[in-house]
């Protein structure tokens, strides 16, 4: 049976890595830094990953939801949180999937969410903002990259790789 949560978590790692490599390539090709509005959106994606890992493990997040980071820092953040996120998803049994957590968002509002909903939210949220990054890149005269889920699946198939491994 396919573990959709795990597959989406691994896809999310691939999409973030793909975008990071593309941003690096863009800097190398243009000789210009990535525009701040693009870094702000992608910072938000990785900040959210830190924050959700913290909420699920009951540990404080070292970042704020809209804190901005340089490209080099985004690489570090991705490396630090991605394996943790996939590990949390892989380790989740039925009890964990149905567990609820209570947390406070950046506006100070309290919420309670089911872990399985958070597992769905993370890649969907990241996709939304990666789409915004693509639009901002095009607006800046830069070439965006496709990080769609089906693109990931096609790439894994073409490489003969399992969709469930990092």
Residues in binding site for a divalent metal cation: 44, 125, 129
Find where tokens 């198939």 sit: 157
User: Is 18:145 a contact under the CB 8 Å cutoff?
Assistant: yes
Task: Reduce the DSSP state of residue 151 to 3 states and report it.
Answer: helix
DSSP state of 165: -
CA 87 to chain centre: 14
User: Is 69:49 a contact under the CB 8 Å cutoff?
Assistant: no
Contacts with 64 (C-beta within 8 Å, 6 or more apart), sequence order: 47, 106
Q: Which residues are annotated binding-site positions?
A: 44, 125, 129
DSSP state of 32: S
């Amino acid at each position: 049976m396919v573990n959709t949560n795990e597959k989406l978590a691994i896809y999310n790692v691939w999409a973030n890595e793909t975008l990071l490599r593309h941003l690096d390539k863009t800097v190398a090709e243009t000789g210009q830094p990535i525009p701040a509005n693009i870094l702000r959106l992608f910072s938000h994606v990785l900040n959210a990953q830190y924050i959700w890992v913290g909420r699920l493990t009951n540990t404080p997040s070292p970042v704020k939801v809209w804190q901005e980071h340089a490209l080099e820092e985004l690489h570090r953040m991705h490396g630090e949180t991605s394996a943790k996120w996939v590990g949390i998803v892989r380790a989740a049994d039925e009890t964990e999937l149905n567990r609820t957590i209570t947390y406070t968002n950046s506006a100070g509002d309290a919420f309670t969410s089911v872990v399985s909903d958070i597992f769905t939210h993370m890649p969907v949220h990241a996709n939304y903002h990666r789409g915004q990054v693509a639009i901002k890149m095009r607006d800046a005269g830069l070439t965006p990259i496709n990080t769609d889920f089906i693109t990931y699946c096609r790439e894994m198939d073409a490489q003969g790789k399992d969709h469930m491994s990092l």
